[in-house]
Amino acid sequence: MPPSTPAASEPTLADLGEFGVIDRLVALFPQDEQVLVGPGDDAAVLRVKVGHVVVSTDLMVEGRHFRRDWAGAADVGHRAAAQNLSDINAMGGRATALTLGLAAPPHLPVSWAVEMAAGFAEECAQVGAVVVGGDLTRADQVVIAVTVLGACTQAPLLRSGAEPGDVVALAGRQGWAAGGLAVLGRGFRSPRALVEAYRRPQPPYAAGREGAEAGATAMIDVSDGLLSEAGHLAHASGVHLDLRAEAFDLPEPLQAVAAATGVDALQLVLGGGDDHALLATFPSTAALPMGWIVVGEVHEAGWSGAEGPAVTVDGAVHEGATGWTHF
C-alpha cells in the first residue's frame, strides 16, 4: 500500500527547501561538551576522549528496510538510530555522536521528516549520544544514511576472539521483531507487543560494555539473523559454534504468531533479526553479567564432522533460514 498523499495545507520538503527543512531538523538535536563545532559548518569537530574511536555506517532504504504504512516516522527514526548505536554496543563501546543523511521525494511532508528526526534523537538520548551533522537531498524514495562514532575505554571487542572451550551467550530479546514482521506481512497488527518490537527495537545498550568488562572474547550485533551473525563470528574466529535449542526463550507472543502463521517459533528466534540483541563468547569460568544467558558452546573448527568453521544447533546443521540477505 503506497503512503498517503499529504494534505494540501501540509508543507512538503519542496515547499520549505533544503535549508528550511535542515533548520527544523537541526533544532531537534541538542549538543554537549564533546562537540566543538556542530551542525552548520562543512564538518563537525569533536573532542576525542581517552580510549579507542569506533565508527560504523548503515543505510535504510524505503521498501527494502521499512515501509511507511507499517511504521510511523518516529518509529523509523528510532530504528535507524538503534541499528547504528547497537554496532558500537557490540564493540564494547558507547556511542557518542552521529550524522544523519536523508534523501527523499520532494512531495514528502515536512512533518514526516521532523517526526523521524525526533524519534532518531530520542533513541540517541538513551545512550547520551548527539547528532552533530548530516545531509539532505532529493531522491525517488526515502533513504536514511547514518554514521555513528563512539569510544571504547578498553580494547574493542571483535568477532575474531572466540576460543574453543568458551560458552556462547545472548543478551536482549530475540525473535520479537521477526514475529512482528511476520504479522505485518500478513496484514495484521497483533500481537501488538511483537509489532511494536519490529517498529521500535529495544537493544540491550548496557550489555556491550558490561560484557566486555566481564571478559567477553568476541561479540556481534544480531541485526540480520541469529544464525547468520553466529556464522560471521565463527568464521572470523576460526571456530565451531554449537547452539542449544532448549536455551532459547519462546514467550507466548512468539508462540501465538507461530500458531497463527504456521511459522515455527524457534525459527523466528534463530533466523530473525532487527531486535539488535548481542551474541558473545565468554571463557567458561567467567561470571556473566545480569541479562546474559548461555545458549551454546565453542568448539574447534571441524567439530562434529563439519568442514571448517561452522554453526550448528544441537549438533546438526539448521535446515531453515539463517537470516536476512541483502541481495
Annotated binding site: 42, 56-58, 65, 87, 134-135, 159, 221, 223-224, 274, 324
The helix or strand, by DSSP H or E, that contains position 55, with its residue range, turns out to be: strand 52-61
- Whose CA is closest to 323, among 195, 177, 203? 177
Q: Which residues are annotated as a binding site for substrate?
A: 65, 274, 324
Q: Rounded CA gap, 162 and 64, in Å?
A: 33
Q: Rounded CA gap, 42 and 132, in Å?
A: 11
Q: Rounded CA gap, 109 and 102, in Å?
A: 13
Beta-carbon contacts of 174 under 8 Å, excluding residues fewer than 6 positions away, are 222, 226, 248, 269, 272, 275, 277
Q: In 10 A of CB 289, how many CB atoms?
A: 18
- Burial classification of residue 46, based on how many CB atoms lie within 10 Å of its CB (0-12 exposed, 13-18 middle, 19 or more buried): middle
Q: Which residues are annotated as a binding site for ATP?
A: 134-135, 159, 223
3-state secondary structure 179-223: HHHHHHHCCCCCCHHHHHHHHCCCCCCCHHHHHHHCCCCEEEEEC
Q: Which residues are annotated as a binding site for Mg(2+)?
A: 42, 56-58, 87, 135, 221, 224
